[in-house]
Amino acid sequence: MLRRQPPAYSPVSLSALWSATLHGLRLAPDTRANLIALLECEYAADHVILLGSGTQALQIALRLAMSRVGDPSVALPAFTCFDVASAAVGASARLRFYDVEPSTLAPDLESLERVLERGTRVVVVTPLYGLPLDWDTIHALAVRHGAIVIEDAAQGHHARWRGRPLGSLGSLSVLSFGRGKGLTGGAGGALLLREPNLWRALEGELRGASVRSAAPMAEPRAAVLLAAQWALGRPGWYALPASIPWLRLGETIYRDPARPAAMTRAASASVHMLWRAAEEEAAARRANACAILEGIGSGRRVTPVQPHPRATPAFLRLPVQLAQGVAGFDAPALAARLGVAPSYPSTLAVVPAVRPWIDDTTTRWPGGEHLARTLFTVPTHSLLTGPERQELIRLLWAYGR
């Protein structure tokens, strides 16, 4: 009864926590240049900018793209992480939405084309839960309309599209190293660029966005966030913070955009140190996801989201559609203790802070609205024990009976 699985887990070691503390206190050399070199190599990027969060990185990417096309209109998926909308609001974008296909979480291509036909020339795509999208088709559609595609790979660490890692596909790509991501530093994000002319334009955009150095309290805050992940992101301890309502763990909350700042030394050091552990964790997630999908089998009463056949998913979580929500489980409380959690509670268009920025003739996005009602996630991380995995399979097998 005291054990509760977190919906997602990022490995954090004591050695990484110690390293973050030393670097945050400036008792060890700054590793940010080394992390930039690593990201440039791993993601085939011409330039990398380290920022305080993935949301801040997306905010800068949007400002750069809007400046290049000379128009503030931006196409966002109607259903995705609320932080995507926060970044667009921070960039002062005019928001238009395209629908999402429930069976794959990919863009509804007809809906996306309608947005592009309105003259929108900046598109954000967000592969959710480490499931790659059909990048080739999306990119070809954007090219036909002269649009820039921003690849928001915040949830895509160690996922691949046709052998290439997510985060290496767009001329502008975004990574996140926050809590619950495949690779964590406690905080932090990165903007990756692959066209020299974009890099030259970025210099002016960075000045216009007033990217600042990390604040003095940002270093200890990054170390504290990492320590909290290490201490509380475990089944034996997670039940305590999850039981405190005001912490709102597991809830999707809109956060107002923050002024972009540089990544801290502490976050950079921990990302660098946890790189190999994140690779091992990704392998464990894939194994657990495949075992759960195989265990559900043909008798399932749930609808798992289908990965593209040319993709290698990272399965940050396993997304499934549950027509009856948690009420369809024979033991809803047990499902919650095992880490089954709702996805995003609404489309972006109904978030109060987002509405003033909307410039859209469409008022309904059926795919996104369907997902807001039915999409849940099942944990896949390495803290899931064999018996817990079997109990999840049993719950999913019996769902709705």
Calculate mean pLDDT across residues 217-221: 85
How far CA 318 is from CA of 129, 244, 246, 258, in Å, comes to 7, 25, 27, 30
Nearest to 127 by CA among 312, 300, 274: 312
Res. 93: pLDDT tops 90: yes
Which carries the bigger pLDDT value, residue 220 or residue 367? 367
Calculate mean pLDDT across residues 124-139: 97
Interatomic CA distance for residues 186 and 179, integer angstroms: 6
pTM: 0.94
Res. 214: pLDDT tops 70: no
Calculate mean pLDDT across residues 374-379: 97
Range among 75-84, 182-191, 256-265, 294-303 with highest mean pLDDT value: 75-84
Res. 204: pLDDT tops 90: no
Q: Quick one: what percent of the chain has pLDDT higher than 70?
A: 95
Res. 50: pLDDT tops 80: yes
Quote the pLDDT of residue 150.
Answer: 98
With cut-offs at 50, 70 and 90, classify the pLDDT of residue 299: low
With cut-offs at 50, 70 and 90, classify the pLDDT of residue 281: very high
Res. 304: pLDDT tops 90: yes
Interatomic CA distance for residues 17 and 28, integer angstroms: 13
pLDDT digits (tens, 9 = 90+) for 233-245: 888 888 777 777 6
Query: Coil, strand, or helix at residue 56?
Result: helix
CB 305 within 8 A of CB 103: yes
Calculate mean pLDDT across residues 268-280: 95
Strand blocks (E) in 135-288: 148-152, 160-161, 164-165, 172-176, 189-193
Calculate mean pLDDT across residues 117-146: 97
Calculate mean pLDDT across residues 135-158: 97
Calculate mean pLDDT across residues 5-14: 93
Quote the pLDDT of residue 292.
Answer: 95
Calculate mean pLDDT across residues 120-148: 97
Quote the pLDDT of residue 206.
Answer: 62
Interatomic CA distance for residues 376 and 399, integer angstroms: 13
With cut-offs at 50, 70 and 90, classify the pLDDT of residue 198: confident
Domain ranges of the chain: 14-274, 276-397
Report phi then psi at 94, rounded to 5: -90, 120
Q: Has domain 276-397 been given CATH number 3.40.50.20? A: no
With cut-offs at 50, 70 and 90, classify the pLDDT of residue 298: low
Q: Quick one: what percent of the chain has pLDDT higher than 90?
A: 79
Nearest to 130 by CA among 286, 297, 310: 286
Quote the pLDDT of residue 2.
Answer: 75
Which carries the bigger pLDDT value, residue 351 or residue 297? 351
Q: Which residues pair with 304 in a beta bridge?
A: 320
Among the four given CATH numbers 1.10.10.10, 3.40.50.2300, 3.40.640.10, 3.40.50.11540, the one describing domain 14-274? 3.40.640.10
Mean pLDDT, the chain, integer = 92
